[in-house]
């Protein structure tokens, strides 16, 4: 349960949820919670039939449910009928959060921050302690830089961005609007490029940049390398989980999701609206089409066409991979059977 220092009427909640209020009794709510944890001042939602018993016994002040439910068959209580209960529940959480977050108004700059004189700051910005901003940086309106953020020279940051503590942005990076970089993110570090000259590994200069488009969220301790010549690109609406490594010149498509510990090698292209589950590894110069789903811990050494669901190493069609996995369980018996056949063949030959 999460409580907030603001009370909302049921009518207000229904309006935020874009739903229809079915009123049993008047109350106000100042919290969001699961069905199990909810009290009489909490908003909860019900969508999963597996939670039917919990739903029946919930003490929530109001429960968001699907319009498809038959109200007459449900316990008498406050409901809000919505097309998509979980989506409406998220709207309510977001509304509560907006009420407690301090709005970014004016230039709120901590005295320990170091800002180069050749930096363009907006009228509304919050810069916390020990932030360092180098020369020729342009930052958009209502952006927040938390403690110990470092932004190197020749960087452009859009509006409504939030860089959490210890984010490092190297030079020659372009970041769009509404971008969140969580703690420890590093953007624009050198790509991993070396050439064996017969005696040692010679470093290949990494002189490209990074472009992060609008509405991107990047989890804690993600590293995004700069391009070797061109740019590494994270396109609009992409969401990246914690501990992801994105190598030089990778192109991550619009609205694609990269789950924790995904690693993408250099110059690979991930299409629009893909999902790469945890610990997926993508080899260099691979092209993954749009609407592709790749199962956890899969290895991708080759291109994948559009609209595929793949799994395993090497990643292949999920149906085929499941058959292979089922077959693996039978290998011990198959081995015994083959061994018996060999013994029988040897015995027959000796006769």
186 with 284, same domain?
Answer: yes
302 with 184, same domain?
Answer: yes
For residue 44, being part of any structural domain is answered with yes
For residue 35, being part of any structural domain is answered with yes
175 with 94, same domain?
Answer: no
Q: What is the domain range of residue 51?
A: 2-100
**Which is the catalytic residue, given 134, 162, 182, 248?**
248
96 with 203, same domain?
Answer: no
For residue 113, being part of any structural domain is answered with no
Last residue of a domain, one of 47, 76, 100: 100
Please report, rounded to a whole number, the percentage of residues in the chain having pLDDT higher than 70: 98
For residue 319, being part of any structural domain is answered with no
83 with 6, same domain?
Answer: yes
Q: Which residue has the higher pLDDT, 131 or 351?
A: 131
At residue 86, does pLDDT exceed 90? yes
Please report, rounded to a whole number, the percentage of residues in the chain having pLDDT higher than 90: 89
For residue 289, being part of any structural domain is answered with yes
Residue 260: CATH number of its domain: 2.160.10.10
53 with 174, same domain?
Answer: no
Tokens linked to 217: 């969220």
Query: How many domains does the chain contain in total?
Result: 2
In the numeric block, the tokens 């290895």 are attached to 299
pLDDT in tens, 154-208: 999 999 999 999 999 999 999 999 999 999 999 999 999 999 999 999 999 999 9
- Per DSSP, what are the bridge partners of residue 63? 44, 79
Last residue of a domain, one of 100, 122, 151: 100
| Alpha carbons 253 and 56: distance in angstroms, whole number | 43
In the numeric block, the tokens 């969140």 are attached to 180
Tokens linked to 259: 């789950």
Do the Cβ atoms of 143 and 104 come closer than 8 Å?
Answer: yes
For residue 196, being part of any structural domain is answered with yes
The angle formed by the CA atoms of residues 27, 29 and 34, to the nearest 5 degrees, is 120
Q: What is the pTM of this model?
A: 0.88
Residue 88: CATH number of its domain: 3.40.1390.10
64 with 187, same domain?
Answer: no
Last residue of a domain, one of 78, 100, 122: 100
pLDDT at position 133 is: 98
Length of the chain: 351
For residue 40, being part of any structural domain is answered with yes
pLDDT at position 79 is: 97
For residue 273, being part of any structural domain is answered with yes
- Per DSSP, what are the bridge partners of residue 209? 231
Do the Cβ atoms of 166 and 149 come closer than 8 Å?
Answer: yes
Tokens linked to 216: 């991107």
179 with 310, same domain?
Answer: yes
pLDDT at position 234 is: 98
**200: exposed, middle or buried (C-beta count within 10 Å: 0-12, 13-18, 19+)?**
exposed
175 with 96, same domain?
Answer: no
96 with 175, same domain?
Answer: no
pLDDT in tens, 300-337: 999 999 999 999 999 999 999 989 888 888 889 888 88
Q: Which range is least confidently modeled, 111-115, 158-162, 251-255, 331-335?
A: 331-335
82 with 180, same domain?
Answer: no
**Residue 339 falls in the annotated catalytic set:** no
- The distance of Cα 263 from the centroid of its chain, to the nearest Å, equals 14
pLDDT in tens, 260-282: 999 999 999 999 999 999 999 99
């Amino acid at each position: 349960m999460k409580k907030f220092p603001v009370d909302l009427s049921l009518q207000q909640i229904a309006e935020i949820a874009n739903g229809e209020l079915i009123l049993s009794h008047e109350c106000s709510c100042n919290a969001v919670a699961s069905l199990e944890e909810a009290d009489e001042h909490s908003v909860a939602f019900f969508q999963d039939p597996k939670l039917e018993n919990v739903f029946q016994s919930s003490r929530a002040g109001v429960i968001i449910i699907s319009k498809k439910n038959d109200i007459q068959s449900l316990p008498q209580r406050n409901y809000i009928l919505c097309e998509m209960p979980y989506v409406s529940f998220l709207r309510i959480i977001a509304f509560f959060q907006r009420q407690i977050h301090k709005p970014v108004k004016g230039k709120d700059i901590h005295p320990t921050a170091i800002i180069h004189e050749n930096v363009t700051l907006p009228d509304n910005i919050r810069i916390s302690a020990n932030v360092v901003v180098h020369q020729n940086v342009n930052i958009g309106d209502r952006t927040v830089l938390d403690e110990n953020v470092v932004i190197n020279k020749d960087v452009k940051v859009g509006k409504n961005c939030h860089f959490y503590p210890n984010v490092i942005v190297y030079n020659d990076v372009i970041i769009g609007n509404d971008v969140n970089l969580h703690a420890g993110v590093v953007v624009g570090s050198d790509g991993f490029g070396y050439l064996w000259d017969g005696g040692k590994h010679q470093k290949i200069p990494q002189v490209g940049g990074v472009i992060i488009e609008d509405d991107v969220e990047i989890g804690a301790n993600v590293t995004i390398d700069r391009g070797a010549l061109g740019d590494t690109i994270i396109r609009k609406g992409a969401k990246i989980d914690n501990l992801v490594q994105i190598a030089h010149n990778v192109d991550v498509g619009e609205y694609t999701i990269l789950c924790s510990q995904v690693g993408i090698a250099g110059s690979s292209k991930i299409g629009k609206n893909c999902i790469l589950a945890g610990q997926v590894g993508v080899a260099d110069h691979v092209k993954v089409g749009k609407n592709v789903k790749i199962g956890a811990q899969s290895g991708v050494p080759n291109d994948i066409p559009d609209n595929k669901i793949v799994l395993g190493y090497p990643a292949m069609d999920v149906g085929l991979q499941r058959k292979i996995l089922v077959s693996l369980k039978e290998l011990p018996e198959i081995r015994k059977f083959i061994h018996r056949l060999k013994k029988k063949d040897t015995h027959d030959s000796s006769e």
